[in-house]
Amino acid sequence: MWMTPKRSKMEVDESRVFRTEWTQRYLVVEPPEGEGALCLVCRRLVVATRERDVRRHYEAEHDYYERYVAEGERAALVERLRQGDLPVVAPLTPEERAARAGLGLARLLALKGRGWGEGDFVYQCMEVMLRDVLPEHLSVLDGIDLSPEVTRQRVLNINKNLRSQLFDRAKDFKAYSLALDDQAFVAYENYLLVFVRGVGQDLEVQEELLTIINLTRHFSVGALMAAILEALQTAGLSLQRMVGLTTTHTLRMIGENSGLVSYMREKAVSPNCWNVIHYSGFLHLELLSSYDVDVNQIINTISEWIVLIKTRGVRRPEFQALLTESESEHGERVNGRCLNNWLRRGKTLKLVFSLRKEIEAFLVSIGATTVHFTDKQWLCDFGFLVDIMDHLRELSELLRVSKVFAAAAFDHICTFEVKLNLLQRHIEEKNLTHFAAFREVVDELKQHLKEDQKIFDPDRYQVVICRLQKEFERHFKDLRFIKKDLELFANPFNFKPEYAPISVRVELTKLQANTNLWNEYRVKDLGQFYAGLSAESYPIIKGVACKVASLFDSNEICEKAFSYLTRNQHTLSQPLTDEHLHALFRIATTEIEPHWDDLVRGRNESNP
């Protein structure tokens, strides 16, 4: 998976470059015309020529040919396929087809967060449809078992298959980083989600869930450390290859003396280990930053309003957009914590602010208190909160874009810090150009107050922005420490050798003098450029590239898990073992395709 366009361009613009080694590995050739990769087996064109896409097609459709593992066998197989001589693949028996269908349905139920018992309902739906539309094919359902027990076991089997594939790929990681997310909660228990981002020799990046840890049972930092180290050891990942650590900025993670980060860094300190780069602002940026900028407990008040709307105003047309947005995020049934987290998003606060007049009228109609709507200070705080959270939302959306390396993501962080300086100066000057909601509140208040009355105190909001600046400086301190490495990685031909570390100057000078490499750099993205760079001629630069590429550049996979959790909170709150939760989160976040043939064979041997 090539992760970034070259230089500062943030949009994904992966070039369609076919690589010759894919022919033996994935049984594809370069098509005579156009872009993509032509499959030798099914003659289909894989349009998006990224190794991830080609491999996904191969593993999903032609995993049977993995039995040809020896180099001579593989070459002979390719030659036969070129001549149109397809090896005979034994067709699936009716029992195997039924097993394959059952596995696919179990995976779909897991992806949608449906309970195990809903497999029976799906079976009944298919039965009704076939009886009315294709009665002669009704018998195909006879071998498909979607009972809760079988569905549960199939989900576990899929998880084992995906986990095995991840471990096989992890053996080839040259460098990796971990993301630790302790904001996941199921019912009354919190979990730590541990994600891994690894980079192979060809700079193909893999982001996957490594493990989940029940924080109720692993309460101490020492117990957490032991569980993480055990997961790393099981995956065959040594601390010597760990480059980065991305976390939330809770005390459990970044406490100065007792935080998990301190313990892990201490554990990773040895002559053979790299200095572990830690940054804590990527994950749940809006959620955790909202606690620093909510100066008047605004969100708690809004939460009370939403509860009233959901119970007594659900049929009011003016609130339908708000209710629809709420249900799309976390379903009809929602607990207080889900609701509170949803309200800590800039998009949600902006929507609530636009409905403040309607909400006030609704509260009056049901006899609830409306004291906040006559409180000048509270209204100003509300407007300020909406605006500052909207700015954080814009940054969070940029950091949610994957397929960019950490160098480009760090540019967004630096840009936002410059923006905070500008916002602070504007607040000091009472210039509300970049505070649309705040300006709207002030304009409304001016109509009801005397001209000489002070509407808001700039110092109150300067303190908030200053606090946010200090938090950003603390969260991304380590990225500033490797700023030269990031710049060298992103712009190797524009980086002045005299500013580079002494150890890399000779290699950098040689690189910049190579015309062929310069031409490659111009037409390829960074991932492909560094993948083709000779490790023998440029070992230090290649090593820097692997380290930078292994750093988490977005919060996409964590947001994917968190979104799955909030959408399916009710289902996940049912009695589930940690093993089942692990399986559901892995299936919901993975980009790996299960090896269906292996799963079917496993089913025939011992499993349902």
Q: Tell me which residue has tokens 């800590």.
A: 344
Report, as an integer, the average pLDDT of 260-266.
83
pLDDT digits (tens, 9 = 90+) for 88-121: 666 677 788 888 889 999 999 999 888 888 888 8
Q: What is the mean pLDDT of the chain?
A: 84
Cα 75 from Cα 81, distance rounded (Å): 10
Which of 5-14, 193-202, 394-403 is the least confident region?
A: 5-14
Strands 37-39 and 189-199: unpaired
Mind giving me the DSSP string for 136-183?
A: GGGGGGTT----HHHHHHHHHHHHHHHHHHHHHHHTT-SEEEEEEEEE
Q: Are 100 and 593 in contact (CB under 8 A)?
A: no
The three-state secondary structure class of 545 is helix
pLDDT digits (tens, 9 = 90+) for 535-590: 888 988 988 888 889 999 888 898 899 888 888 877 776 778 889 999 999 999 99
CB 546 within 8 A of CB 537: no
Q: Which helix (H) or strand (E) holds 465?
A: helix 458-475
Query: What are the φ/ψ torsions at residue 558 (nearest 5 degrees)?
Result: -70, -40
Pairwise CA distance, residues 248 & 471, whole Å: 12
Neighbours of 412 (CB within 10 A): 18
245-263 average pLDDT score: 84
Q: Dump pLDDT digits (tens) for 523-542.
A: 888 888 888 888 888 988 98
What is the share, in percent, of the chain residues with pLDDT greater than 70? 90
pLDDT at 97: 83
At residue 552, φ and ψ (nearest 5 deg) are -60, 125
As a whole number of angstroms, the distance between CA 236 and CA 333 comes to 41
- Say how many C-beta atoms besides its own lie within 10 A of residue 523's C-beta: 11
Distances (CA, A) of 504 to 129, 497, 509, 530, 531: 67, 8, 9, 15, 18
Would you kindly state where each structural domain of the chain is located, as residue ranges? Answer: 20-83, 156-278+575-601, 295-478, 492-549
Q: What is the DSSP letter of 78?
A: H
Report, at the CATH architecture level, how domain 156-278+575-601 is classified. Answer: 2-Layer Sandwich (3.30)
CB count within 10 Å of CB 371 equals 10
pLDDT, tens digit, for every residue of 447-457? 877 665 688 88
Amino acid at 183: Q
**CA-based end-to-end distance of the chain:** 34
CB contact at 8 A, 254 and 261? yes
* Cα 387 from chain centre: 25
In this structure, the strands spanning 189-199 and 28-29 are: unpaired
Q: How many CB atoms lie within 10 A of CB 70?
A: 9
- What pLDDT was estimated at residue 604? 41
Task: Give the number of other CB atoms < 10 A from CB of residue 85.
Answer: 9
- Phi, psi of 177, deg, nearest 5: -135, 160
Question: DSSP state, 201?
Answer: T
Three-class DSSP labels, 183-250: EEEECCEEEEEEEEEEECCCCCEEEEEEEEEECCCCCCHHHHHHHHHHHHHHHCCCHHHEEEEEECCC
Cβ-Cβ contacts under 8 Å for 548 (sequence gap 6 or more): 405, 406, 407, 485, 486, 489
Q: What is the DSSP string of 426-445?
A: HHHTT--TT-HHHHHHHHHH
Residue 13 has pLDDT above 50, yes or no: no
Phi first, then psi, for residue 196 (nearest 5°) are -120, 140
pLDDT in tens, 355-399: 999 999 999 999 998 999 989 999 999 999 999 999 999 998 888
Please check the confidence at residue 160 and state whether its pLDDT lies above 90: yes
Q: Mind giving me the DSSP string for 323-369?
A: HHHHHHHH-S---HHHHHHHHTSHHHHHHHHHTHHHHHHHHHHTT--
More confident residue, 24 or 226: 226
- How many residues appear in the chain? 608
Please give the Cα distance from 146 to 151 (Å, whole number): 6
Compute the average pLDDT of residues 403-425.
89
Average pLDDT over residues 173-193: 85
Q: Which residues contact 292 (CB under 8 A, 6 or more apart)?
A: 464, 467, 468, 471
Sorted by sequence, the CB contacts under 8 Å of residue 191 that are 6+ apart come out as 182, 184, 185, 212, 213, 214, 215, 581
Smallest Cα–Cα separation from 329: which of 319, 317, 343, 316? 343
Strand ranges inside 35-153, DSSP E = 37-39, 45-46
Position 466 confidence tier, pLDDT thresholds 50, 70, 90: very high
CA 56 to CA 48: how far, in whole Å? 11
